[in-house]
Amino acid sequence: ELIDRIKQLEAHNTQLKSIVQKNLHAREDTANGKAKKKHRPFDFSKCFKRHILLRFYYLGWDYQGFAAQEDSIETIEHHLFAALRKVCLINSRETSNYNRCGRTDKGVSAFHQVISIDVRSKLAPEVQLEESSLAGELDYCSMLNRVLPEEIRCLAWMPMVNAAYSARFDCRSRTYRYFFPRGDLNIDAMEESASYLVGAHDFRNLCKMDVGNGVVSFMRSIDEISIKPSQVDSNNDSSYDMMYLELRGKAFLWHQVRCIMAVLLLVGQGKEKPSVVKDLLDVEKNPCKPQYSMASDVPLNLYDCQFNEKSSESNEEEMGGESDLSEWIYKEDDLRRTISDLQGLWMKQSVKTTMIREMLKTLHGILEERFAGAVPICDQSVSLTQGVRSKEYCPLLQRQRCASLENRIEHYAKKRRIEVSVKSNDSNASGSDEPPAQHVRDGINNVGYVDHGVPGMDN
């Protein structure tokens, strides 16, 4: 009876998914303001193909993350594939040899997102890599930008020699930037605390553990980390200066950057000592993560990605040959249009920012004039930390703890939701932020996994 009931529920679940998909597509058609017209299918069998890298930027604040989801069309990947199909560059995602460098979470942006994909080409394979022929190739960026939302833009493309080259597995480093106002933060203390993060560590206390998706190893390496100034306040009030935290590494865990930033903000506010990071990295001394709120998703940006010269799929003979990489191809007209589009978005946000800044300037003046000796208010960075703020601060290491990694593994193993093996401990070491699917049972929803913090990246 139980088996029959499970089968009924699975069938009902499938039916509901189908209804949701139909409703989503109907909403999309309505939003486009156009009735669907029947077009003769594009005949891809008559076209040449080529393997390329495509570089995009997107502002993810109003999107549900990068990765496509069953119950939402408001993802970057949904709009990307809709555009690729609309301009007939691919037949389907399944047949496009597609990989992504990062998988950012809801609200997270990217300036240097890269995908590898097979697309339609005007050129025969034997001349596709000739420099003299590249000028006559399809203008991929222009084609896509005409149909993409204004927050998503294709910047450049790169012709690839090796069809096995993967934007995911052949990425050697990813750089994130987290933007924040100086406020009354002690930047020196934050820099000292951040310095303890450099190198290989177990970051289980500085991420969201995703054991249910098969992630059981939390060793990662941060190659560089620094805090740098971005913009100086025009009214010479340093509390309104903008800064950013920059981290570079091969791979990041789910929410890792946002958890790191949350702790650094506590240090900058004087609520924690810089050494608290060392304590959190000591998993022998602190095997259970203390409960704390993450930093906001809005300021996080996947800002740069660097790639291996040769594909990891190359054999020994190929590894000694020329690089698989070439130069990114930009077109001046496309780049100028993109800059103009981004300036338009900047204008909308900057006007709002300037208006609020002038209002604050006036209010600061009233406070100083009416209440002589009043302590200046520098709470610009306070709202970056999510969650309810307690009136009395409780130090991190004195807080209630989450379940240990071992307890989580035992919990999911009992439910048969994960299969723990030695192999699974290293399965995510390739630099991807995505969960190792081979160790996750069918039916488990992986949609929420981000990278990166960094790629899976809800960092």
Task: Tell me the average confidence (pLDDT) per consecutive run of 10 residues in the chain, 459 residues long.
Answer: 78 70 58 59 88 97 93 93 95 94 94 96 92 92 96 96 93 96 96 97 93 87 97 93 96 95 96 96 95 95 95 68 89 96 96 96 94 91 83 92 88 70 36 38 31 40
Closest alpha carbon to 4 in 441, 440, 17, 12: 12
pLDDT attached to residue 409: 86
pTM of the model: 0.84
d(CA 92, CA 41): 12
Residue pLDDT, tens place only, 346-390 = 999 999 999 999 999 999 999 999 998 889 999 999 989 877 777
DSSP state of 329: B
Residue 315 CB contacts under 8 Å (≥ 6 apart), including other chains: none
Contact 166, 68 (CB under 8 A): no
Angle, CA of 392, 394 and 395, to the nearest 5°? 140
For each of the domains in the chain, give its residue range(s) and CATH number, in order of start: 48-159 (3.30.70.580), 172-307 (3.30.70.660)
DSSP state of 438: G
Strand pairing category for 199-202 and 219-231: antiparallel
pLDDT attached to residue 14: 73
d(CA 192, CA 182): 16
Catalytic residue among 105, 202, 324, 334: 105
Closest alpha carbon to 192 in 255, 273, 246: 273
pLDDT attached to residue 373: 86
The reply to whether 105 belongs to the active site is yes
Angle, CA of 103, 106 and 111, to the nearest 5°? 55
